[in-house]
A = this chain, B = another copy of it.
Amino acid sequence: MTVELICVGTELLLGNIVNTNAAYLAEKCAGLGLSCYYQTVVGDNAERLGEVLRTAAGRSDVVILSGGLGPTEDDLTKETAAGIMGRELVEDPGSRAHIQAYFASRNAEPTENNWKQALMPRGGIVLPNPNGTAPGVIIAEGATHVVLLPGPPHELKPMFENHVIPYLKNLEPGVISSQTVKVCGVGESRVETMLQDLIDGQDNPTLATYARPGEVHIRVTARAEGEKEARRLIKPVVKEIKARMGGDIYTTDEEVTLEKAVVELLVANKLTVTCAESCTGGMLSARLINVPGVSEVYKSGYVTYSNKAKRKLLGVKKSTLEKYGAVSPQTAEEMAKGLASVSKGDVAVGVTGLAGPDGGTEKKPVGLVYIACNVKGEVTVREYHFSGNRQTIREATVSAALTLMRNCILEYFSEITFGKKK
């Protein structure tokens, strides 16, 4: 079954707001196993909205419209949809009573145009709106289902979850289920090359890759009669991806971010962590600290932006800074070593690099970054070359640091396992 989204609003066409409703509705519909091939944004204009709705109803089974249900003259989604579906608007007593009660509870008087919101297309299924004055409505005509929802996300989301999802689930038997495999430190085209035959050769489940900064997410999606059957289809494909991508996979849990995976690894191994950042200026610590419960492993960190701070707070040698420069493997290494000694962190990460836009030379171009990761005295230093602007270079650096931390911790403990360390 196919679904199509139409978001109505001039503020979207002007770019005043980001269309989060479309992302929300699209994700929910994908989770219901509906195929969405089109999303459209159109203004509060009867002619253009009518044209878009007619096209959508002609090619998709379900059309979900959001916005344009307000009380003003500009709001004409309901009028337009009713016209196209050949339904006259009649007053819905329940909606009228709700509007009355809504204003009474706020000690306010509805204005004349508020009553417009109680008019409903004849035969439509009215969707109550406890969070506002605009009810939603579903108009079904043959095999076509047109769903009208209010625009404000805090009204749209509960209405969709409480009324539209049960309605849509009833339309079709079967479920759709998916699992995400997340990989770090490998580019998207490399992942695709490694999985090309699976991507091309699979129909159910399907495979899709999604590039994220410093990461690639691989989603495996199956359709089946029941959840159990869907899981059974997904399992061998995930197993095959694991066999090919191995240690680059940091999670198979949709909810786990790279920073969360690193924090979980720290917690599991009872390791504390600390960061000393130059070019990233606190971004690495900030990303770790976005994980709830990080307080168990993260105690303190430093932003050592100046050379003086690197010397004074971390004990980087003046001679090192003079001989090799602040952006050098030697400085990164001394940052990570000094940091471990001043902070007593088990894992100590030093980051130094040139984020630009100025300060680059032929030998040390903008985008050159060194990251040192010190796990209980074992220091690994890596060189990176990133491109982009100051902000994107810094974001890429943070992802690389998280990947390096993960790899160094895993290596440290795997060596222990294999008896290479006392």
Contact = CB atoms under 8 A, between A and B. Distances in A.
Interface of A: 10-20, 22-30, 36-43, 45, 48, 52, 70-73, 102, 105-107, 111, 113-114, 130-132, 152, 154, 158, 188-190, 192-193, 200, 208-211, 217, 219, 275, 277, 279-286, 288-290, 292-295, 298-306, 308-309, 312-313, 356-358, 365, 385, 387-392, 394
Given A12-B39, A107-B385, A385-B105, A288 B281 contact: yes
Given A18-B19, A38-B40, A290-B391, A300 B299 contact: no
A358 B296 CA distance: 14
A76 B209 CA distance: 16
Given A281-B289, A388-B154, A13 B36 contact: yes
B16 A19 contact: no
Nearest to A383: B107
Contact of A27 (B16, B52, B188): B16
Given A39-B41, A131-B389, A282-B284, A289 B306 contact: no
B22 A19 contact: yes
Given A18-B19, A299-B308, A388 B131 contact: yes
Contacts of A189: 70-72, 111, 113-114
Contact of A280 (B37, B209, B286): B286
Q: Which 10 A-B pairs have the closest CB atoms?
A: A282-B282, A281-B289, A15-B27, A15-B26, A300-B309, A282-B285, A301-B303, A39-B41, A282-B286, A299-B306
